[in-house]
Amino acid sequence: MEAEIMDLALRNAARAREIIEELDIVGAWRSIGAEANLVGSLRMGLMMKHRDIDFHVYSSPLSVADSFAAVARIAANPHVMEITFRNLADTDEHCFEWHAFYRGEDGELWQLDMIHILRGSFYDGYFERMADCISAVMTDEMREAVLRLKYQTPDDEKIMGVEYYRAVVEGGVRDMDSLRRWLAANPSQGVVEWIP
């Protein structure tokens, strides 16, 4: 079972990086003078069954027209089936939220979350630091526990990545029953700002 889990994690990570290259995500954002940084499970080597790729993108000023121009380059790929946009520029998050859905020749559906954030605002670099701090404290045994818990989570059950990481690192959780108890005792609301 452990070998199967590790194989799936490595295979999904490799496929995610192929999609990033195929869509030229970094180049699309660079074309408008923005910086795109990988965040989330792929950055930490903790991607499992949930096929999502997370980028945080930074520019100043935060321009709707520029943001649409960058995403238009990504949308030109025929495997990109749908894109959604939310304007959160006037909130505390100071961002545009993009979600693109990609289906390759193999039929697998991937979600790309690209959060275009105002340079210098509160979340500028925050989730990069979070990912790097989590990676720094996580042992091989903890990594295996996170991947196993993600693998064992039913597909219709929604648990944020950071909830797994915090439960394993801070809570000592190693099995699904303990995870569910830990989540019930430590409910998350909105943006989770935990950094170990």
pLDDT tens-digit series, residues 135-157: 999 999 999 999 999 999 999 99
Q: Quote the percentage of the chain above a pLDDT of 70.
A: 99
Arithmetic mean of pLDDT, 148-173? 94
122-143 mean pLDDT: 95
Q: Is 92 left (phi over 0), alpha (psi -120 to 50) or beta?
A: alpha
What pLDDT shows up at residue 1? Answer: 61
Residue 191, pLDDT above cutoff 80: no
Over residues 27-47, the mean pLDDT reads: 97
DSSP state of 166: H
Average pLDDT rounded to a whole number, residues 174-192: 90
Look up tokens 């970094």; give the residue. Answer: 26
Task: Give pLDDT, residue 2.
Answer: 83
- CB burial readout 27-56, b (16+ within 10 A) else e: ebbeebebebbbbbbbbbebbbeebebbbb
> In this predicted structure, what is the pLDDT of residue 153?
95
Quote the strand ranges of 10-93, DSSP E. Answer: 35-39, 52-59, 80-88
Phi first, then psi: what are they for 59, rounded to 5°? -160, 160
Decide which of 151 and 3 is more confident. Answer: 151
Phi and psi at residue 115, in whole multiples of 5°? Answer: -100, 110
Q: How far apart are CA 185 and CA 52, in angstroms?
A: 27
